[in-house]
């Protein structure tokens, strides 16, 4: 029944402008109507691209969240399998699938499903990197983490858990810890500059 459920206020904010002629116009309209989401443009860029391919309907845009949630589920199963065991991975997947908050946000035309997917991908890459030490997995982890601050304010909280894991299990790899920390410090500086520009724009 995704297409039958009436869109509510937050969903309408982007729905009313989704047929904008280009991404720049769409972002300008959406962000001007909701100052609170101005620091977090990633979802709306993805949303506009999705609507360009699959159409600007309520059903189509809710399917974007459904797709992100299914991806997060698969990544959760893969991460849990590598950390624990096959049975544990299916238990984790089953619990995630019946979680009422997850079911609700998996159907909403907002950024919650996307940030869940990105956190799951970050954790999957982090676990693969910890297990195999391959540069490509560290690069993917840092790349995904770099997108999180511009997706949702809570996204970067996963950095804390990963930092503790690095210090606990990779404490001998000092070069790795320093590089990972410096990369995230650079992300923080970039986001701080971005936020400063937004605050200045809002004040003016």
Q: Is the pLDDT assigned to residue 32 strictly greater than 80? A: no
CA dist 183 and 148 (Å) reads: 14
Long-range pairs for 189-198 at CB < 8 Å and ≥24 separation? 191/149, 191/150, 194/39, 194/150, 195/39, 198/38, 198/39
Contact 83, 39 (CB under 8 A): no
Q: Which two tokens stand for residue 135?
A: 């540069």
The predicted pLDDT at position 202 comes to: 61
The residue with greater pLDDT, 37 or 59, is 59
Summarize the confidence of residues 60-69 as an average pLDDT.
Answer: 95
Summarize the confidence of residues 105-120 as an average pLDDT.
Answer: 94
Summarize the confidence of residues 71-100 as an average pLDDT.
Answer: 96
Q: CA torsion sign, 169 to 171 to 175 to 178?
A: positive
Summarize the confidence of residues 129-150 as an average pLDDT.
Answer: 94
Contact 95, 50 (CB under 8 A): no
CA dist 178 and 153 (Å) reads: 24
The predicted pLDDT at position 19 comes to: 86
Q: Is the pLDDT assigned to residue 118 strictly greater than 70? A: yes
Among 11-15, 17-21, 65-69, 74-78, name the one with the lowest average pLDDT: 11-15
Q: Which percentage of the chain shows pLDDT scores above 90?
A: 68
CA dist 117 and 129 (Å) reads: 18
């Amino acid at each position: 029944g995704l297409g039958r459920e009436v869109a509510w206020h937050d969903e309408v904010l982007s729905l009313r402008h989704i047929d904008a002629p280009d991404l720049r116009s769409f972002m300008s309209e959406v962000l001007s109507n909701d100052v609170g989401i101005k620091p977090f443009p990633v979802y709306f860029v993805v949303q506009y691209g999705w609507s360009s391919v699959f159409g600007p309907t309520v059903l189509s845009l809710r399917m974007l969240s459904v797709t992100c949630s299914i991806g997060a589920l698969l990544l959760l199963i893969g991460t849990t399998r590598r950390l624990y065991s096959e049975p544990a991975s299916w238990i984790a997947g089953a619990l995630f699938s019946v979680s009422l908050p997850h079911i609700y946000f998996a159907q909403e035309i907002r950024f919650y499903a996307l940030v869940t997917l990105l956190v799951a991908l970050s954790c999957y890459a982090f676990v693969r990197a910890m297990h195999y030490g391959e540069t490509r997995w560290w690069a993917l982890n840092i790349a995904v983490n770099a997108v999180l601050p511009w997706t949702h304010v809570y996204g970067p909280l996963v950095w804390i858990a990963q930092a503790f894991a690095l210090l606990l299990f990779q404490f001998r790899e000092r070069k790795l810890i320093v590089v990972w920390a410096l990369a995230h410090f650079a992300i923080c500086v970039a986001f701080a500059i971005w936020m400063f520009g937004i605050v200045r724009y809002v004040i003016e």
